Amino acid sequence: MTKEYKVDRQVFDDVMVPCYAPMQMIPVKGEGARVWDQEGREYVDFAGGIAVSCLGHCHPVMVDAIKAQAEKIWHLSNVMTNEPALRLATLLTEHSFADKVFFANSGAEANEAALKLARRYAADKFSPDKSEIISFKQGFHGRTFFTVTVGGQEAYSDGFGPKPGAVTHLAYNDLTGLAEHMSERTCAVMMEPLQGEGGIVSPTPKFIQGVRELCDKHNALLIFDEVQTGNGRTGDFYAYQGLGVIPDILSTAKSLGGGFPIGAMLTTTELAVHLKVGTHGSTYGGNPLACAVAEAVVSEVTKPEVLAGVKQREQWFREALEAINAKYPVFAEVRGKGLLLGAALNDEWQGRARDILVAAGEEGLMVLIAGANVVRFTPSLVIGKADIDEGMARLERAIAKIYS
Ligand SMILES: *Cc1c(COP(=O)(O)O)cnc(C)c1O
């Protein structure tokens, strides 16, 4: 039996590694787009666990899938394969460019696999000197040492000793800069097809097309990090499908499991053969429980009405944010796509995104930020109109309170 005692926020400071600064309240229950804390206070959830809870909290298809699988088998390791993994991989190949899938447990691990595959492919097919990874400033690719080094924020990668080498950071949306820099030494370009953590920055059509052309010209692989944009978030199942540019490798996580940890790297048969037996692996990757949940999530999210619903909800979000801004002008623009939206603060409000997040929390609304100047919204893809209206009413009250 677990001991019955109440844990509070102080316990975090007592026994947890202090790499996070969590809010004071502790959520204990969620249903759809609502969450309740220990005191029974209710919140509207516009954060979705950072673009993870794509079907809201405790959606029946996820609860049914995990219960059913929990009574069959939980874990095998990759010494054997398993039915949920095979079904999920098949689904992912049906709904994307990919022929082959590697399962991991997180976005960083999916990216780690993508980068290792790119390096291995270039070394096998061309030369070990073809090792340069190009990525973009403000980009985010996870916290393992390789992925955080490829990410474009030195604040995250500095201070841990020597970094993995041959990584170059260029400016996002600067095609000329990329064209001038790229060479036969370039192994791969890794990018988010819409920068999330970096402030909700979309690629220009010219840039995204140009990156693909430059990769082809220099025999470099194009890796799309769709950890945040994937699984319906932008209104397409994967964001690349709305951009008319197909990557060679795609990483996916966050919404893939709808709240259960899972990540995956998707690629073609031609590339996949370079990760032959023993070259890469994961104990938990492809775990039956994780794959059973993700299978239920993907089956739901790929329904045309769910994807169309994301575009409808984007409209509702944009209209409501504009209405708030008409009364209390704090935003310069609302950017992003689908339900990966960022309200960028205007000149007078620079640096105050966190103030809005805190005020929203006090009004019973969970939002996110992306840097100091962007309030970010990544709610459930199936959030109801009534929940959006209620959340926006709370956001308006929060902004009214600090507006002066
Ligand atoms: C969140 C995120 C990651 C890291 O995912 P983890 O599951 O935290 O390892 C990588 N890339 C992008 C674009 C992300 O948004």
Pairing mode of beta strands 186-191, 132-136 = parallel
Residue 17 shares a structural domain with residue 154: no
**Assigned domain for 180 exists:** yes
**Assigned domain for 341 exists:** yes
Task: State the distance from the centre of ligand 1 to the C-alpha of 142, rounded, in angstroms.
Answer: 5
- The position carrying tokens 């790929």 is 302
- What is the CATH classification number for the domain harbouring 169? 3.40.640.10
**Assigned domain for 168 exists:** yes
**Closest C-alpha residue for ligand 1 atom 11:** 141
The binding site comprises 107-108, 140, 143, 225-228, 282-283
Number of domains the chain contains: 2
- Using the atom order of ligand 1, give the atom closest to the CA of residue 228: 15
Q: Where are the alpha helices (DSSP H) in 183-287?
A: 205-217, 269-272
- The full DSSP string for 127-143 is -TT--EEEEETT----S
- Using the atom order of ligand 1, give the atom closest to the CA of residue 142: 4
Residue 125 shares a structural domain with residue 266: yes
Length in residues, the chain: 404
Which of residues 285, 301, 317 is at a domain's end? 301
Residue 146 shares a structural domain with residue 265: yes
- What is the CATH classification number for the domain harbouring 329? 3.90.1150.10
Whether ligand 1 lies within 6 angstroms of the CB of 112 is answered as: no
pLDDT tens series, the chain, 404 aa: 566 778 999 999 999 999 999 999 999 999 999 999 999 999 999 999 999 999 999 999 999 999 999 999 999 999 999 999 999 999 999 999 999 999 999 999 999 999 999 999 999 999 999 999 999 999 999 999 999 999 999 999 999 999 999 999 999 999 999 999 999 999 999 999 999 999 999 999 999 999 999 999 999 999 999 999 999 999 999 999 999 999 999 999 999 999 999 999 999 999 999 999 999 999 999 999 999 999 999 999 999 999 999 999 999 999 999 999 999 999 999 999 999 999 999 999 999 999 999 999 999 999 999 999 999 999 999 999 999 999 999 999 999 999 97
Whether ligand 1 lies within 6 angstroms of the CB of 392 is answered as: no
**Assigned domain for 166 exists:** yes
**Assigned domain for 315 exists:** yes
**Assigned domain for 377 exists:** yes
Residue 177 shares a structural domain with residue 37: no
- The position carrying tokens 């073809």 is 130
Question: Probe ligand 1: pick from 254, 256, 368, max atoms within 8 Å of CB?
Answer: 254
Which of residues 301, 319, 346 is at a domain's end? 301
Residue 308 shares a structural domain with residue 282: no
Whether ligand 1 lies within 6 angstroms of the CB of 295 is answered as: no
Give Cα separations from 10 to 141, 357, 362 (angstroms): 31, 21, 19
What is residue 300's predicted lDDT score, i.e. its pLDDT? 98
Whether ligand 1 lies within 6 angstroms of the CB of 248 is answered as: no
CA distance 61 to 300: 8
* Residue 180 domain boundaries: 72-301
Residue 396 shares a structural domain with residue 346: yes
What is residue 3's predicted lDDT score, i.e. its pLDDT? 62
**Assigned domain for 393 exists:** yes
Residue 238 shares a structural domain with residue 198: yes
Residue 143 shares a structural domain with residue 15: no
**Assigned domain for 1 exists:** no
Q: Which two tokens stand for residue 276?
A: 């032959």
Question: Probe ligand 1: pick from 19, 53, 228, 368, max atoms within 8 Å of CB?
Answer: 228
Find out whether 389 and 395 touch, Cβ atoms under 8 Å. no
Residue 172 shares a structural domain with residue 263: yes
Residue 245 shares a structural domain with residue 330: no
**Closest C-alpha residue for ligand 1 atom 5:** 107
Residue 98 shares a structural domain with residue 195: yes
**Closest C-alpha residue for ligand 1 atom 15:** 228
What is residue 2's predicted lDDT score, i.e. its pLDDT? 60
Residue 29 shares a structural domain with residue 100: no
- For the chain, helix (H) and strand (E) counts, in that order, are 14, 15
Whether ligand 1 lies within 6 angstroms of the CB of 227 is answered as: yes
What is residue 1's predicted lDDT score, i.e. its pLDDT? 52
Q: What is the CA radius of gyration of the chain?
A: 21
Which of residues 248, 281, 301 is at a domain's end? 301
Task: State the distance from the centre of ligand 1 to the C-alpha of 107, rounded, in angstroms.
Answer: 4
Give Cα separations from 103 to 14, 130, 317 (angstroms): 35, 26, 33
What is residue 248's predicted lDDT score, i.e. its pLDDT? 99
Whether ligand 1 lies within 6 angstroms of the CB of 141 is answered as: yes
- Using the atom order of ligand 1, give the atom closest to the CA of residue 110: 9
The binding site for N(2)-acetyl-L-ornithine comprises 143, 282
Task: State the distance from the centre of ligand 1 to the C-alpha of 79, rounded, in angstroms.
Answer: 27
Find out whether 229 and 301 touch, Cβ atoms under 8 Å. no
